[in-house]
Chains A and B, each alone.
Chain A
Amino acid sequence: MKRRTNRIGKMGFSLALGAVCVFVSLAVAVPSQGENILDKIEKTGKVAMAFREGSVPFGYMNEKGEWVGFGLDLGCEIVNALSAKFQKEISLEKIPMIPQTRIPLVANGTVDIGIGSTTITLAREEVVDFSLPYFLTGTRLLVPKGSPIRDFPDLAGKRVGMGSGSTANIKGIDSAMESGLIKPACEKVLFEEHNKGFLALQQGKIHAYFTDASMLVGMVAKAQKPDDWEIVGRYLTYEPYGIILPENQGEWRDFVNAALIGMIKSGRFEEIYEKWFGPKGEVPMPMSTEYKTLLKALSYPD
């Protein structure tokens, strides 16, 4: 009897190890290795794009349950450019992404392109590629109206919420604490999603919420009483957003960049910006001078 129990024990152990291996291999979907994405799109007539579902107004569900946003409009423009290039209808396959999945989805080839609200960082550049920066914002603070917190130094000793997937933000606040801008240090409270962080801010669990100004404006716009909130502080860091593209797909990246430049030069980009961020848009946010300069710098001649 004793021997049998041992054998079962050993089998159990190898089964457990096997389970770990299976779990691990499931985590990597098989990437499309080396195939030229433009050729693939022409052959299949399909392009797979990932968008955000919970990032107002970059990609979100509106009251009618439709999936809309700034990113989706840019995606449609790129699809139109593809259709024009190949002189045939290219169909768009939309796939949702969240901050934790956006890099893997593109890196493993599930989608050809990811358009959300993704800051270009050097660390991310090691795994994926980015288009030219098409959006510029910076990190600021969301506080209840009348809060004593006016700028980053006021955060000393306070509890500050931020998104756990927003690595650029976390690094920004870490270096602000190291450099002595926030002294004594503040307590970082991490949230999976911005809306949970906003709920905690409403309940007083945290004193301020820290992320990209464009996100904060969106959070205020969706609040029950937008007047109870204000966005304060200097830009702690600049956050240039880029479209996520797979590594080593130079032609595909050139094509996306050319489509972006084309939109900027034709004024179509400004129209789309106005639609979402203009005075009548979902999230009114006038274009900053820095952002305007960036768009001018992107108006490459033909």
Chain B
Amino acid sequence: MTEILYDVIIIGSGPAGFSAAIYAVRSGRKTLLLSGVRWGGQLMLTTLVENYPGFPDGIQGPELMLNMRKQTERLGAEVVNADFEKADFSKKPFQVTAEGKIYRGKSVIIATGADSIWLNVPGEMQLRGKGVSTCATCDAFFFRGKNVVVVGGGDSAMEEALFLANVAKSVTIIHRRDKFRASHAMQQRVFNDGKIKVLWNKTVTAFLGAEKVTGVKLKDTVSGKETDFDTDGVFVAIGHKPNSDRFKGIELDKKGYIVRKEIPDEQGLLKFRSATSVPGVFVGGDVHDYRYKQAITAAAFGCMAALDADKWLMEQK
């Protein structure tokens, strides 16, 4: 039995991964997408998406991802629900391991996205699912009529707070600085919401509670004073980190994002926009994008990576 050799192996199943697979398979490339068990990426944790073109009334995030997956499979790409483990880019063809099985590909597209960052303070891991969460849209329901805390100061923290304000009795945003970095529009919505309060210049140093969350320990970043704050739930929204730590030999920037190498052709015009430091390995989506981080930009980056991989494969003979 000969092992299958794929033209393109795509790692990741957010908008970048599925768009890459759609373009790769439509270029006639034998395409494998390793989706992971928890497939679908960050949009699986959202509700109504109103900024993805083509849906006049918006579309639910999970439904959009289900549609992308169906489209990808209908076009003939192979989608495997296996969790990626490691990649070996020192061999040709490249070897990608998922759940103990090795897949071989002539080219690889990394579209592993980014995951929520946790605070990494005492009590957090033990109380996950017991009042500590990173997904208001998943878990807000359990805090109907209760007091909750959101930790963070960016757009995602504002979104979580606004979503929770629909159901909770009160929402307190805890932020380590004296102003938010969220967009102006999101900040205004938060300040105009009567249920949301803000505690400035405070960091969470521990989660309190045994069976479930009962409060958080706070430290004032100015005075250094420590206080306990009672709450029924804590939603951590302090940002995301790129899922880039399992790609040996791929250059990362200081924050861990995969570095993109723009490769010009003989006339000095841009040939590959999505190349990485390893020829034949391309990148798309939030794992390399610290700036835009939208569903539509991730999809576009995935498309570029697939077009680049196709062109690169044509040149290899």
Q: Please determine whether chains A and B interact with each other in the same assembly.
A: no
